Amino acid sequence: MSLDKEKLLQSLVNGEYPDAQGRYGPFGGRYVPETLVGAFTRLEEGVDKWLNDGNFRDELNTELKNWVGRPTPLTPAPRLGERWGAEVWLKREDLAHTGAHKINNAIGQALLAKRLGAKRIVAETGAGQHGVASAAACARVGLPCEVYMGQIDMARQAPNVDRMQRLGAKVIAVTTGDRTLRAAIDEAMRDWVASPNDTYYLLGSAVGGHPYPYLVRELQSVIGREARQQIIDQSGGLPDVAIACVGGGSNAIGLFHPFIADGKTDLLGVEAGGHGNGLGEHSATVVHGRPGVLHGTYSLLLHDDDGQIQETHSISAGLDYPGVGPEHALLAATGRASYCAVDDQTALLALNECCEAEGILIALETAHAFAGARLYAQEHAGARILIGVSGRGDKDLATLLEHAG
Amino acid sequence: MSGAASITAAIKAANADGRPALIPFMTAGHPNREGFEDHLLILERTADVIELGVPFTDPLADGVTIQRSSEVALKAGVTLNWILDALQQSASHRSTPVLLMSYLNPLLTMGYKTLAERCPSAGVAGFIVPDLPYEESAPIRAELEPQGLALVQLVSPVTTDDRMRLLCKASAGFVYAVTVTGVTGGEKQADHAAMLAYLDRVRSVSSLPVCAGFGIRDAAQVREIGAHADGVIVGSALVEVLEQEGDLQAFLKSLGGKDNV
């Protein structure tokens, strides 16, 4: 790809993306069936109107404070810091209502759906965290919610299925395609195609056709805005690096975005290395992927020479996705952020280390960020490291037991 | 004659015979690669235009039947490359225009230029790309148009009047009027009269022939919808016949078409 990296980087730092076509440099756009074009146009108009509306912002901020429990704390992690030879700070999205960052986006979009006059909400979920967040947010605003979830994910994240149902959502098993997150998105889109006027599609990651990657980034950027101020207040300066795990990339873009103009803060995205480097053995899209179009956006993608999307693998259901948000593709292309992959085993070790050293059971997804941070610390002695703790690990207990033996 | 013009001409020839053009759809290489050539020959006897599906892992505009056929074809090793090669071998014997229905990513991955250059010798006259809205189509159009290849635009029951004019003007070959708000093979639109009025609306806007598709399954529907469209596309029902190893030729004959005149 011939890209004018310097120019793209400048535009990125200046906050010029997405542009009027919903692009982040060459990435992004809106590749959707004709039946959904009207729905996407209305959504885009709604996003432009309400995200900039004072009353809407007040309503959202009040819900974030009183219902989600924001701001979430920034926790120093001295014992991890001592082990790693670094100064470690944890942005605690695991302490947000429903146990992960997903709620920031879900409540924002549910409030938006209400303003747009939606009669029902559909959502997809991988690990179940976005499904739980959507179910809770829909209950909160009083809209019926249906969640598509791959059959494989339903088995490995059973407690979250129960939680969604308890919160009043209908969980629909997806038995087609890869039976994980990717197939769940396919199925949610098909649902939306059948009722584009009454249904609001509450997409959980920073992927999809424009304006979704923008909308999700705006709603998740609260993570980075809070963390940036907190780390300045508590440590006296900006971090040397901000680190987050990347599946579709919503918690990472939320953490990274407010730091993009801070040139001295490195941004490191950690992907799921699964159990090997071959196609189908991992979900490391930025590390191993090539550009292509999936689920409405042009971004990096794990696909073969015939353009067929590849099966992915990760021990963490939330990272098990063959695409990544278009803004991450641009962050990688410009070099503003770097991306690495951590395998299943290393992630498990990092999860245990965090339990032991700090008394925090993090999610398997989040554990990838911790493993990446440990590696960063080895190369940058004494660095001030900010880690996005995207979620808590209670949902992973069954998987952890399985791997304990 | 360019590929795009050959599609329009084939539809108009059917209309001149006093019938709607019949455009059968099947997923290429489904249920197996070995049968592709024979199925194509059978289609040619009855079809005015042939629509072939390029299988894709994530066919999000398709219902369960075409999803299934796509999965089977992929397992059998069907790729865009294989389809173009197979079509090229039989191109010289074929007079019926062939359209490829493909999601964007396989086309993008092959490269639009390579794709467009290979089409004439394979006898491919154009494309239907269900996840490519007009606004994103400039790059592929820039390669298809110099080769005379059609990029058929779709319109749907929820497409606004202004947008419908834009899409009808931008289309080539024909305009694909999706009859249901939903995926392929879906239930009939609840309000049948409104659906027929919608087809009339598309026709009043379009200078190209208008062909209706999604959920059209039998001769009665072909006749009824054919009175409000210049052609009909039959997909899922045909794929089901192939899945059940039914009589493809008898099914196509039952729908009408050029052999029956």
pLDDT in tens, B46-75: 999 999 999 999 999 999 999 999 999 999
CATH code, domain with A128: 3.40.50.1100
Interchain CB contact of B206 with A (< 8 Å):
no
A202 CA: distance to closest CA in chain B (Å): 17
Name the residue among A30, A183, A193 with its Cβ closest to that of B183. A193
Name the residue among B59, B80, B133 with its Cβ closest to that of A32. B133
Interchain CB contact of A210 with B (< 8 Å):
no
Cβ-proximal residues to B83 (8 Å cutoff; 6+ apart), any chain: B28, B29, B52, B54, B100
Q: Are residues A269 and A350 in the same domain?
A: yes
Which of chain A's residues have a Cβ under 8 Å away from the Cβ of B190?
A: none
Cβ contact (<8 Å) for B181 and A309?
Answer: no
Number of domains in chain A: 2
Q: Are residues A397 and A263 in the same domain?
A: yes
Q: Which amino acid is at A43?
A: L
Interchain CB contact of A233 with B (< 8 Å):
no
Query: Strands, DSSP E only, in chain B?
Result: 21-27, 50-53, 98-101, 124-128, 150-155, 175-178, 210-213, 231-234
pLDDT in tens, A26-38: 999 999 999 999 9
Rounded to whole angstroms, how far apart are CA atoms B103 and A294? 9
Of B119, B95, B1, B100, the residue nearest B45 (C-alpha):
B95
Interchain CB contact of A52 with B (< 8 Å):
no
Name the residue among A182, A195, A292 with its Cβ closest to that of B109. A292
Q: Compute the mean pLDDT over every residue in chain A, rounded to the nearest whole number.
A: 96
Which of chain B's residues have a Cβ under 8 Å away from the Cβ of A197?
A: 158
Q: Are residues A39 and A144 in the same domain?
A: yes
Residue A4 belongs to a domain? no
Residue matched to tokens 């090539």: A290
Interchain CB contact of B96 with A (< 8 Å):
no
Q: Are residues A323 and A377 in the same domain?
A: yes
Query: Which domain-ending residue is among A182, A198, A216?
Result: A216
Q: State the DSSP string of A99-156.
A: GBTHHHHHHHHHHHHHHTT-SEEEEEESSSHHHHHHHHHHHHHT--EEEEEEHHHHHH
Sign of CA dihedral B191, B193, B196, B197: negative
What ipTM is given for this predicted complex? Answer: 0.95
Cβ contact (<8 Å) for A293 and B105?
Answer: yes
Q: What's A220-248 look like in SS3?
A: HCHHHHHHHHHHHHHHCCCCCEEEEECCC
Residue A142 belongs to a domain? yes
> What pLDDT was estimated at residue A3?
66
Q: Are residues A315 and A369 in the same domain?
A: yes
Cβ contact (<8 Å) for B108 and A182?
Answer: no
Name the residue among B60, B105, B133 with its Cβ closest to that of A30. B133
Indicate the helix (H) or strand (E) that contains A188. Answer: helix A181-194
Long-range contacts of B4-9 (CB under 8 A, 24+ apart): B4/B125, B4/B126, B4/B148, B4/B149, B4/B150, B4/B172, B4/B173, B5/B148, B6/B97, B6/B125, B7/B49, B7/B97, B7/B99, B7/B125, B7/B126, B7/B150, B7/B172, B7/B173, B7/B174, B8/B173, B8/B174, B8/B208, B8/B209
Interchain CB contact of A1 with B (< 8 Å):
no
Query: Which domain-ending residue is among A216, A237, A266?
Result: A216
pLDDT in tens, A202-244: 999 999 999 999 999 999 999 999 999 999 999 999 999 999 9
Q: Are residues A164 and A27 in the same domain?
A: yes
Domain that holds residue A282: 70-100+221-404
Which of chain A's residues have a Cβ under 8 Å away from the Cβ of B80?
A: 306-307
B3-253: which CATH number, 3.40.50.280, 3.30.43.10, 3.20.20.70, 3.30.420.10? 3.20.20.70
> What pLDDT was estimated at residue B188?
62
Residue matched to tokens 């093979």: B185
Interchain CB contact of A355 with B (< 8 Å):
no
Interchain CB contact of B160 with A (< 8 Å):
yes
Active centre residues of B (catalytic):
51, 62
Q: Are residues A203 and A56 in the same domain?
A: yes
Q: Are residues A172 and A263 in the same domain?
A: no
Interchain CB contact of A30 with B (< 8 Å):
yes
Q: Are residues A289 and A328 in the same domain?
A: yes
Q: How far apart are the first and last CA of chain B?
A: 25
Which of chain B's residues have a Cβ under 8 Å away from the Cβ of A21?
A: 135
> What pLDDT was estimated at residue A177?
86
Q: Are residues A306 and A338 in the same domain?
A: yes
Burial class from Cβ neighbours inside 10 Å (0-12, 13-18, 19+) for residue B168 reads buried
Which of chain A's residues have a Cβ under 8 Å away from the Cβ of B58?
A: 177, 182-183, 186, 294-295, 309
* Helix, coil or strand: residue B103: coil
Q: Which amino acid is at A72?
A: T
The edge-to-edge listing of strands for the beta sheet with A290-294 is A23-24, A27-28, A297-301, A290-294
Name the closest residue on chain B to residue A307, using Cα atoms.
Answer: B106
Name the closest residue on chain A to residue B75, using Cα atoms.
Answer: A308
Mean pLDDT of A278-304: 96
pLDDT in tens, A348-383: 999 999 999 999 999 999 999 999 999 999 999 999
Stretches where chain B sits below pLDDT 50 are 261
Global pTM reads: 0.96
Cβ contact (<8 Å) for A308 and B106?
Answer: yes
Name the closest residue on chain B to residue A304, using Cα atoms.
Answer: B109
Q: Are residues A91 and A124 in the same domain?
A: no
Q: Are residues A315 and A337 in the same domain?
A: yes
pLDDT in tens, A310-340: 999 999 988 989 999 999 999 999 999 999 9
pLDDT in tens, A85-107: 999 999 999 999 999 999 999 99
> How far is Cα of residue A89 from the mean position of the Cα atoms in its chain?
20
Residue A7 belongs to a domain? no
Active centre residues of A (catalytic):
102, 124, 390
The full length of chain A comes to 405
Interchain CB contact of A66 with B (< 8 Å):
no
Query: Which domain-ending residue is among A216, A241, A272?
Result: A216
Residue A14 belongs to a domain? no
> What pLDDT was estimated at residue A285?
97
Burial per residue of A218-232, b for 16 or more beta-carbon CB atoms within 10 angstroms, e otherwise: bbbbbbbebbbebbe
Name the residue among B79, B136, B160 with its Cβ closest to that of A306. B79
Residue A193 belongs to a domain? yes
